[in-house]
A and B are shown apart, each in its own frame.
Chain A
Amino acid sequence: MLYAILIYERPHDFDRREGEAEEEAAYTGAWQAWHQALLKADVFVGGSPLERPETGTTVRQRDSKRLIQDGPYANTKEQLGGFTLLELPSLDAALEWAARCPAAAYGAVEVRPIAGEVHKRVTGEYPK
């Protein structure tokens, strides 16, 4: 089963990515270690951190007009900071890995199953 791990972080967490050397090392170190653990356990399928929310641009097409809005889609305190796709046997296993995700301790981590059936209807085959 494929699970998306959606990682939400607070505004100042994005600053920690480029913060003082010590702060940056702690932040990056925790993420590196989690990523390595995912690789070693052979569950990592894909994913990446995302640039800061304010670099996002939101597009809507309404009444044949293209509406472009500066900024991320969701106007929430915690913002999507990255996502990871994992191949796991069960939701319980996905929750285990989500709990180990560094952001679980300070932000929020959402676990969403990949919609395999819909994927097949849309693309003609199940997700790999």
Chain B
Amino acid sequence: MNTRSDDLAHRAVEAVARQSYGRLVALLSARTRDVAAAEDALADALMSALTTWPRDGIPKNPQGWLMTAARNRLLDQARHRQVRDQSVPTLELMMSDLYETKDPDALPDERLKLLLVCAHPAIDPDMHTPLMLQTVLGLDAVAIARAFLISPKTMGQRLVRAKNKIRQARIAFEIPAADQIPQRLEAVLDAIYAAYGSSWEDAAGTDRKAVGLAEEAIWLARVLRDQMPEDPEVHGLLALMLHCEARRPARRGADGKFVPLSEQNPREWLVPLIDEAERELLAAARHARPGRFQIEAAIQSVHAERAHSGRTDWGAIARFYDLLVDVAPSLGATVGRAAAHAESESAKAGLTMLDAIDSDAVTAYQPYWAVRAHLLSELKRLTEAKDAFERAIGLSEDDAVRTFLLERRQKIPS
């Protein structure tokens, strides 16, 4: 074996794994409902690809090769268990449509079913996102645990438990009835968005809960969009994340300092992502069925408009926030609405909206304190502004945001 062909084969395995991991896990587990076994079988298939492909060359249809290897592995395992269960013929029958897979495009794409299973109401909502990241993208428990700020061991155990639940509760791999779809889909959208991390952005310097899996989240959203092109919220979610992602380079100055949205240089925004976001939003609008993610994306779209017009239409943003609080009330939306009205009307109007929020709900909610500090300092209520800045700083996780707020507070005359 020479190193070059080893290397080539290695990269081929990696590429196929990235492209088809979720498709293959979905295909295998949709038939057995055993996600863990499907993943193990696929892992074995990938391992044997690493030894076989450098020797025999990369197969013409790598995905089909992996499919066959993983399927045979599952059947072997079932045969070993045959003494205590009679499932082999059933399993063979269930997988009969996967024989003779010469054309990878002929394989059914069952990833939507897999996404729906991962976000099934019977599964702990906290596990929806980790399950998707693992089963559809093949992320390991260590990477997922790091993103979610928990220990790899705990994350591993929770993933195993969730997969056992899918198998033991016999959660069906199927597209739900039409009247069930909106509710089931909402859980899928929430889980994908959770991988991205929420992204309330405004002049005040609010802290993003950056989960750091933005690329993975966008990938999942594109998979979902390809499978459910007729749902406007799917397009809305993708548009929202693309708009936020487009601003990533502008969010930090050359010195690494946090730059709030209103002070970002639009020339640093990533135009292709904005264009793609706008296309998705347009596709959503054709359905004339607004929803939470479309409205949030529309708000980001108004912000993006500054690249052309040089100004921000805060009136439009405030109206979208009114709609958002109506359609999908949340603490984030309420705080965002107050910030928008502060810009479009007056700081006083924004502060009145903040005052109306239940104080227990905001004890540890950084964006509330950041916006409040900003408005109080505009209203020259300096002592209160300093206190609010202190709360916002103390609740910040991002060091750049913390530094930004510290500087703002220092500028207040004492």
Contact = CB atoms under 8 A, between A and B. Distances in A.
B399 A95 contact: no
B150 interface: yes
B176 interface: no
Nearest to B149: A95
B406 A29 contact: yes
Interface string B382-414: 000000011111111111001100100110000
Given A25-B410, A34-B394, A37-B394, A105 B402 contact: yes
A105 to B, nearest CB: 3
Nearest to A42: B363
B397 A33 contact: no
Nearest to A99: B397
Interface residues of B, number: 20
Given A40-B363, A41-B363, A104-B397, A33 B390 contact: yes
Contact of A40 (B149, B391, B406, B409): B391
Interface string A79-104: 00000000000011001100110101
Contacts of A38: 394
Contacts of A35: 394
A41 B395 CA distance: 10
A95 B390 contact: no
Contacts of B390: 32-33, 36-37
Given A26-B406, A36-B390, A100 B396 contact: yes
A26 to B, nearest CB: 6
Contacts of B403: 26
A30 interface: yes
A106 interface: yes
Interface of A: 25-26, 29-30, 32-38, 40-41, 91-92, 95-96, 99-100, 102, 104-106
